[in-house]
Structure 1
Amino acid sequence: MSERWVSTPAATGLRGRRNNDTEPELLLRSALHAAGARFRLHPTLASGCNPDLVLSSRRIAVWVDGDFWHGCPVHGRTTFNGPNAPLWAAKMQRNRERDARASELARQAGWTVVRLWECEIRASPADAARRVLAAASAADVGVDEHVAVEPVDRVIQGRGVQADIDTGDALEPGQVGEGEPGSDGEVVTDAFFRSP
Structure 2
Amino acid sequence: MDVVDRVTRSRMMSGIKGKHTKPELTVRKFLHAQGYRFRLHRADLPGKPDIVLPRYRTCIFVQGCFWHQHPGCKYAHTPKSNQDFWLPKLAKNVERDQISERKLKEMGWQVVIIWECDTKNREILQARIREALGPSISA
Summarize deviations over 1:161-196 as a string: whole Å, max 9, x none: xxxxxxxxxxxxxxxxxxxxxxxxxxxxxxxxxxxx
- The structure-2 alpha-carbon separation of the partners of 1:22 and 1:116, relative to structure 1 and needing over 3 Å to count, comes to same
Give the AA of the match of 2:13: L
Once residues 56 and 76 of structure 2 are traced to their aligned partners in structure 1, the CA distance between those partners, rounded to angstroms, is 31
Unpaired runs of 5+ in structure 1?
Answer: 1-5, 138-154, 160-196
SS in 2 for 1:70: coil
| Corresponding residue of 2:68 | 70
Determine which structure has the larger helix proportion and give its number: 2
Residue 13 of structure 1: how far off its partner (Å): 2.7
- The structure-2 alpha-carbon separation of the partners of 1:17 and 1:94, relative to structure 1 and needing over 3 Å to count, comes to same
- The structure-2 alpha-carbon separation of the partners of 1:32 and 1:129, relative to structure 1 and needing over 3 Å to count, comes to farther
SS in 1 for 2:92: helix
Kindly name which structure, 1 or 2, has the bigger radius of gyration based on alpha carbons: 1
Once residues 93 and 157 of structure 1 are traced to their aligned partners in structure 2, the CA distance between those partners, rounded to angstroms, is 35
Q: How many residues align?
A: 133
Over the residues paired in the alignment, what is the CA RMSD in angstroms?
Answer: 2.2
| Corresponding residue of 2:86 | 88
Once residues 84 and 62 of structure 2 are traced to their aligned partners in structure 1, the CA distance between those partners, rounded to angstroms, is 26
Aligned partners of 2:126 and 2:137 also within 8 Å: no
Matches of residues 84-163 of structure 1 in structure 2 within 5 Å? 84-124=82-122, 127-137=124-134, 155-156=135-136, 158=138
Give the AA of the match of 2:116: E
Residue 8 of structure 1: how far off its partner (Å): 7.0
- The structure-2 alpha-carbon separation of the partners of 1:12 and 1:123, relative to structure 1 and needing over 3 Å to count, comes to farther
Summarize deviations over 1:106-131 as a string: whole Å, max 9, x none: 1011100000110101222x642442
| Corresponding residue of 1:60 | 58
- The structure-2 alpha-carbon separation of the partners of 1:45 and 1:103, relative to structure 1 and needing over 3 Å to count, comes to farther
Residue 105 of structure 1: how far off its partner (Å): 1.0
| Corresponding residue of 2:35 | 36
Residue 133 of structure 1: how far off its partner (Å): 4.0
SS in 1 for 2:129: helix
Identity of aligned residues (%): 32
Once residues 131 and 108 of structure 1 are traced to their aligned partners in structure 2, the CA distance between those partners, rounded to angstroms, is 22
Normalized against structure 2, the TM-score is what? 0.83
